[in-house]
Structures are given as C-alpha cells and as structure tokens.
A and B are shown apart, each in its own frame.
Chain A
Amino acid sequence: MGRDGYTLARGGGAMMAWLSDNGLLLGLAVLDGLASAASIFMVAVGLNLVFGVLRILNVAHGSLYAIGAYTAASITLFLTSHGLPAWLSFPALVVAAALVGVILGPLIERVLLKRVEKQEPVLQLLVTFALFMILEDVQKLIWGVQPVSNDTPMRLLGTIDVPFGADVIPFTAYQLFVLPGIALFTLVGLAWFMRRTLTGRVIVAVTTDREAATSQGIDSAKITMLTFTFGAMLAALGGALASPMSSMVPGVGASTIVLSFAVVATAGLGQVEGAAIAAVMIGLGRSIAVYLEPELEVVVPYLIMVLVLLVRPQGLFGVTETRRI
C-alpha cells in the first residue's frame, strides 16, 4: 500500500482503512485474474476447436499445456546458459509451442485418434485418457519432479505501477501486457481466421457437417489433422505463456485439463468468444477467492461451472443439440 492510501485511511477512519486495504487487494486480484484467464483461454479455445472437428474431448490436452511450459523453460535455459541474449526468451515461448504442436499434434492424431475414429465415444475418451496417463509420466521422466521455473521473460520486462484510485499497484509488465495481449490477439485472429479465410471456413464446414463437407470435395482427414495440430499448438502456447508466472510441477496437466474443461463447459462446447468470457469469469473468480478465502481457490471454478450448468445445461452460449432418434 502506498503512502497516499495510508493517509487517506487514517483520515477516513477504520471503515475507510478497510475499504482501502481490501480495495487494493481486490485490484490486485482483478489483475491476477485477467492474467490467468488469458492463459487458460488459450488452452480452452484449443480444446474447443479440436472437439468441434474430431468430436473427441482430448483429455491429454492438459498434458500438451504442461509440455509446452516445460519446453519453453528448457529452451530459455539453453539460451541463457549459452550466453545468448535474454530477449530471445520471448520468441522461445512461441517456438516451444510450435515445436510441441507440430511434433506431437500429427503424431497423436495419426497414430492414435485416427485408429479409433469409428469406435464408440467412450472408447475414444478412454484412448485420450490413456494418452494423458502416458504423457504425465513422460514429463516426469524428462523434466523430473522438482519444480521447474522460467522467469527470464518476466524479469526482463520488470514491473509497472498501475494507478489504482489514490494508490499504485506494482504489477509485472509481462502479466499486464504480454499475456492478455497475446490472448486478445488469438481471440481476434481466430475469429478472423474462421470467418474470412478459406482454411478457416473449411474447418467450420467440417465442424458443422463432416459428411456434407466431404461430399463437397473437402479432404476432411487433412483438415482434422490440421485442426488437431493447431489445437495442440494453442495448448502448448498457453503453457509456454504461463510458464514465467508460476513454476511447473507434476500434476499441472491434470488441473489444467479440468480447469479448461470447466471454461469450455461454462461457455458451451464450440464457442470461441464465449470461451473468452467464461475464462475471464473463472479467472477472476479464482483469483478473488485466493485473496478472500484461499482454501476455496480450487473450488470456485467448478462452483461457477456447476451453477451455470444447473441453469443452462448447454452452457452460457451453447446451443442445444437436436436429439437423434
């Protein structure tokens, strides 16, 4: 708390002091929440995209997030230990995401998911769950169980004093600008891509009706692989972007898939803009809970999801599917 806030609090009495204290905390919580919403949005939107085309909920999506984060940390470590300029750690985040997406995406889609394309949904779900189990341990084998951190990008940009009423909140520039900026760019870019480019519209066509799209001469197998790779890249990017904020530990993949599922379910399956709104809701809810009642932090996202689902089973922006007979 700054000096101005302190005098204000003394002048206004106990009530004002409370407001000032908690107001500041609330401001910090909002900034924190927006930053975490940005990273979770990236993961959720990838999950959504993949679900739209493949009709599979990829449980291993959270692992791709974790692997993206670990890879980003490894690349940065390599750069700094070889005396290369530190600003390279920013492109490293994107390179890590692209690497993970391009290597693991086609591999998973072609080797695994394609084989179970015609199987019943429960088996497809189990296949991605099995993959999730495998990838969780692969992370442990490669990066160990000790926390891995990647704070170079964050240190490089330093902190900025955000004016908040009479006070200022020191907040890292990375969380304030880079993270939300990239998320916003993704949101707008994705909306443009889906509506204005041929590839985007082909993806929308395959999502809406695979058979009809195929009969129009669309190579839906190719589109499927492309979409999956793209989705994997988004998950990895989400992880890479989040890696400077918190250190990675085993188990981060599990909490990420559940959290991004909560976002997707709250928004409604297949909603891009809706996912952004839901991510902000859940991100804010979680960070405010951290400041008010830390024990409840993990519960809040699911509480929001359950409350939304109780009222609207298809999610906030979802459309109800017609029942087939």
Chain B
Amino acid sequence: MNARLEILAGILGAAVLVLLAYAAPWLRFVLTIALAKGITVLGILLLLRAGQVSFGHAMYVAIAAYSVAFIAPHMREALLLLPLAAVISAAAGLLIGLFVMRYREIFFGMLNLALSMVFYSLLEKLYTVTHGTDGIRLPVPTFLGRELAGASYEWAVFALALVLAACFAVVVRIYLAAPLGQALAGIKTREARLEFMGVPGRFVLLAAYVLSALMAGCGGTIIALTSRHVTPALAYWTASGELVFIAILGGAGSVLGAFLGAVVYELTRVYAAANLADAWQLILGSVLLLVILFAPGGLFGIAQGLLRRRKAA
C-alpha cells in the first residue's frame, strides 16, 4: 500500500470513527479507549520491528494513569496533565530501559513482565498511597481552563485521543522510515552486523523503547481521563497481553493496523466480555494462535490481500 493510499485510508478511518461516535453516543467511550490502546500499541509495533516483544507495557499505561490521578486533585487542566503524565511515563521508560536494554527476546519480554508484576503488586499492596484495588477516582478535568460536563467533556477527550492518534501515526511512520527506525530491523536480523557498521544497537532499541513508553503514557492518560477511575488492573499482565494481542491482530507491519486492531478488539470486547467473562482470555489466546499460524499479516494484511486480489481480477 503506498503512502497516499495509506493517508486516504487513515482519514477515512478517522471519519468513520467520528460518525460512529456521533451516531451512537455510548460508542464514544468505547472508541476513545480503543484509540488510547491503539496509540499504546504503536509503541509495541516499534519494538516488534526490532524482533522484541514486551509482556509488561501496560505498566507504562498505569504509570501515566496513576500520575494523572495523583496530579489531578492539585491541577485539573487536561492539556497540562497529558504532557506531564507522558513525560513521567517516558522517564520511567528511560530508567527501566537502561536496564532491560542489555537483554533481547526472552529476557527482554520476561523482564518487562516481571517488572510490571512488581508494579502491579505495589499498586495493590501500598493501600495508604494507592487505595489498593479500590483505585482512585479523578475529579473532572478542565480543557483550556473551561469546565466541561457530560457529552461535551466526552467529545473533548475523544477529540484529544483522535488528534494524538493521528500525530503519533505520522510520527511512527516517519520514525520507521528514518535511519533510527530502519536500524530496528537490523536488531532483528543480526545486531552484531549493525554494530560493525558503527550503529550502537542498544541505543537504537532504547530510543524506540522510550518512545513506546511515551506513547503508552499518552494512552494511559486518555484512559484515565475517559474512565476517571484508575485501578491496579491497568498494570496487570492481562492488560499487557491485550496490547500484544492487538498488535498481532491488527498486523505487526503497519501503523493503521494498530488502530484497526484496537477498534475491532474493543468493539468485540463490549459484547463478548460481558457474556463470556470467564472465557475471554481463552478466546483471545485462540485468536492470537490462529492469526500467528494462518494470517501472519493480521487484519490489515487480510484487508490488503483482498484489495490486491480485486485489483488483479
């Protein structure tokens, strides 16, 4: 798919989302969450490009969400909360990244999982600070100093999510085409070759990791602003698994796939999770297996294949 077609598909997709949110008000909430997860999944895609998978990225979502929850009582401006929380998340990403960068593949994935489990347990156990599993309720934030309520507040968060999604989609697209992004594929094939060319592999991966933590931070902020209630469940391994699932479902090779996957996932979840709560992970796992075994390009790959076949016919 060439760049022009991709931009067209992106704009079309955004228009469809806005229409859906307009037509069915209850979808606004669902789609906002889907966009937030899509933004986070973009970060997972960056790491997948380098052949690395993190089973603990929900930690960064939770770090940002809890940052919002802690700062909001003192300062309620959403447009300031967003960069603050995103920067805190990115800073945590840098700190943890400096440690996990020494590892690849199995260790990379599992260390991220281990750290996120520790973070989850701390959120749960340190009751005096985090209120444990009860979580923290957020006051209604303001937008540009204006108090919004009800539908207009929901629209504001939705618009913020949409703008962020568009910006990060472009950023990631450019990043992947730039030398720093191209080098990621080198880490996957053979890192030693990269270093022989004078490109420091760890730095390349660290840059992607911090960017992914930043995006997860933005996603976490949107989630906190939308649900206005943060709980440790945000950091649980199932949440991280969900992110990896969306990345593979949408199609690991494409920016639009992340959002396609996130929207399909969230819409399905609204119906399925209520009726099949006990089997939800089972369904996710099975679909994940099917996609890996039979449709490695994900939903986006399937769509592309259909498009190509029509052109050939």
Q: List chain B residues, Cβ under 8 A from A129.
A: 55, 241, 244, 288
Nearest 6 A/B pairs, CB to CB = A133-B285, A137-B282, A134-B285, A298-B121, A130-B288, A57-B106
- Closest chain B CB from A104 CB (angstroms): 15
What is the predominant secondary structure among interface residues of chain B facing chain A?
A: helix
Q: List chain B residues, Cβ under 8 A from A127.
A: 289, 292
A195 at the B interface (CB under 8 A): no
| Distance A323 CA – B192 CA, assembled complex (angstroms) | 7
Q: List chain B residues, Cβ under 8 A from A137.
A: 278-282, 285
| Distance A132 CA – B110 CA, assembled complex (angstroms) | 14
Query: What string of 1s and 0s marks CB contacts (under 8 Å) between A107-124 and chain B?
Result: 000001001100011110
| Distance A138 CA – B107 CA, assembled complex (angstroms) | 27
Contact count A vs B, C-beta below 8 Å: 114
B310 at the A interface (CB under 8 A): no
- Closest chain A CB from B192 CB (angstroms): 5
| Distance A5 CA – B165 CA, assembled complex (angstroms) | 66
What interface size band does chain B fall in?
A: 35 or more
Residue of B nearest to A261 (CB): B110
- Closest chain B CB from A43 CB (angstroms): 14
- Closest chain A CB from B236 CB (angstroms): 9
Q: Contact: A298 with B118, CB < 8 Å?
A: yes
Interface segment among B46-54, B73-81, B202-210, B258-266: the answer is: B46-54
Residue of A nearest to B103 (CB): A313
Q: List chain B residues, Cβ under 8 A from A323.
A: 192
B167 at the A interface (CB under 8 A): no
Q: List chain B residues, Cβ under 8 A from A254.
A: 117, 237
Residue of A nearest to B279 (CB): A137
Select which of A126, A302, A305, A306 is within 8 A of B244 by beta carbon. Answer: A126
| Distance A293 CA – B117 CA, assembled complex (angstroms) | 18
A325 at the B interface (CB under 8 A): yes
Residue of B nearest to A51 (CB): B106
Q: Contact: A305 with B114, CB < 8 Å?
A: yes
| Distance A45 CA – B192 CA, assembled complex (angstroms) | 31
A102 at the B interface (CB under 8 A): no
A125 at the B interface (CB under 8 A): yes
Given contacts A127-B292, A133-B285, contact A122 B105 (CB under 8 A): yes
